[in-house]
Amino acid sequence: MASFDTYIRKSIFMIDLNEHSSLDTLRSLPIWEGNEMLIKAEPAGESNMNLVLRITTNLRSVILKQSKPFVRKFPQIPAPIERIEIEMCFFQLLEDDEVLRKFSPTVILYDGANHILLLEDLGNGTDYSEIYADGFSWNKNDLQSISRYLSALHELQVSNFPDNIKMKKLNHEHLFEFPFKVENGFDLDTIQPGLQNVSLKYKTDENLKSALGQLGKRYLSHGTTLVHGDFYPASWLKTEHGVRIIDTEFAFMGDCEFDLGVMFAHFDLAKIDSDLNEEFLLHYEHTFNEKLVDKYRGMEIMRRLIGIAQLPLSLSLEEKKHLLEKARTLILS
C-alpha cells in the first residue's frame, strides 16, 4: 500500500467546485498528470454528503469527490469538511485486504488543501435504492457479496483508524435526537399527511427517548470494530463487475451491530421478507449481539420514518404506524 503522503498534493487555497464548474476551473486543480487533457465533467449520480463528479480525460475516467463545510443535500446543516480524509483512510486501509479491495474503488490521489479525493471510476453503476419499490427481487449473488463484504470488514484487525468524532456527533444528532424532538421545525405532513400526528406518540415517549439516549452514548463511544457507518442501499453500487461499496465518510471504530442493524432496518422499510435476514447471516461470520442489532435496527427504522433523512418508500401511513411500533419494541426489548 502506498504511504499516506504519496496521495497528497498541495495547493495554496481551496478551489470550491460545483456541478457546473468549467473544465478550465477543473484543469487548475493540482491533481492531473502533465500530459492529461480534460474532455468532460458530469455529476456521478446523487450524493447526499459530497460533490461527486465523473471526469473524462484523454487518459482515463475518474471520480472526483469534494467535501464542503455542509451537507450537500441539506446545505443548512453544517458538516466537518475533513470527512473526505476519513473516506480516503478507509479505502487505503482496505487495499491490503484480498477480499475487501475487490469491493472498493482504488484511491488515486488525495488533495488535502482542496478536500478532494480522486478515485477509480467503477463505471455507470446504480445503487440499490430500487429495493424500496414494489416488486423488487434480490439477486442472491448480490446479497451474498454484500454479506461477505460486511463480514470481512468486521473481521479486519485495525489499530489506528481516526476516531471520526465530528462526523459521529453530526450523525448522532440525526439518529438519536432530531427525529424525537416535538418541535424540530420539520413538518412530517409534507412527507405524508397524518405522519406528523403519528410521530407525536414517539416524540413524547420518555421510556423510548431514555433508551435511545443510552444507545446514543454507546454509538459515540470508541469500539473495537471498523464499521462502514452508513451501510444502506444507497452505499451499495451495482456495477458490471458486481457489487461495490462506496461512501465511507461515516466510518468509525464501534459496534459491528450498528452496520447490521442499519442494514436490516432498510430490509424492513423495503418490506423484504425476514427470511432474507437469515440468508444474509449464512455468509456473515463475525460474532454479534442480536439484541444490540435489534436496538440499532429500531433506531434506524424510526429515524428514517420521522427524521429528516427520508427515503423513496412505498409505504402507506398504516404500514408506517406498524413499523414504528415494531421499532419501539426492538429498541425497548
CATH of the domain at 93: 3.30.200.20
Asked if 64 contacts 116 with a C-beta cutoff of 8 angstroms, the reply is yes
Judge if 318 and 296 occupy the same domain. Answer: yes
Structure-derived torsion over alpha carbons of residues 261, 267, 269, 270, reported in degrees to the nearest 10:
160
Confidence grade of residue 319 (pLDDT, cut at 50, 70, 90): very high
Tell me: the pLDDT tens digits for 195-217?
Answer: 999 999 999 999 999 999 999 99
Helix, strand or coil, per DSSP, at residue 141: helix
Which residue, of 120, 144, 164, is where some domain finishes? 120
Judge if 141 and 281 occupy the same domain. Answer: yes
Judge if 143 and 267 occupy the same domain. Answer: yes
For 135, which DSSP code? Answer: T
Report how many domains make up the chain.
Answer: 2
Judge if 163 and 116 occupy the same domain. Answer: no
Which residue, of 99, 120, 141, is where some domain finishes? 120
Q: Which domain holds residue 162?
A: 126-332
Grid cell at residue 136:
423488487
**Distance of alpha carbon 39 from its chain centroid, rounded?**
30
Closest CA to 300 of 249, 232, 213: 232
Which residue, of 63, 98, 120, is where some domain finishes? 120
Confidence grade of residue 7 (pLDDT, cut at 50, 70, 90): very low
Chain mean pLDDT for the chain: 93
pTM: 0.93
**Distance of alpha carbon 200 from its chain centroid, rounded?**
28
Confidence grade of residue 261 (pLDDT, cut at 50, 70, 90): very high
Asked if 175 contacts 313 with a C-beta cutoff of 8 angstroms, the reply is no
For 3, which DSSP code? Answer: -
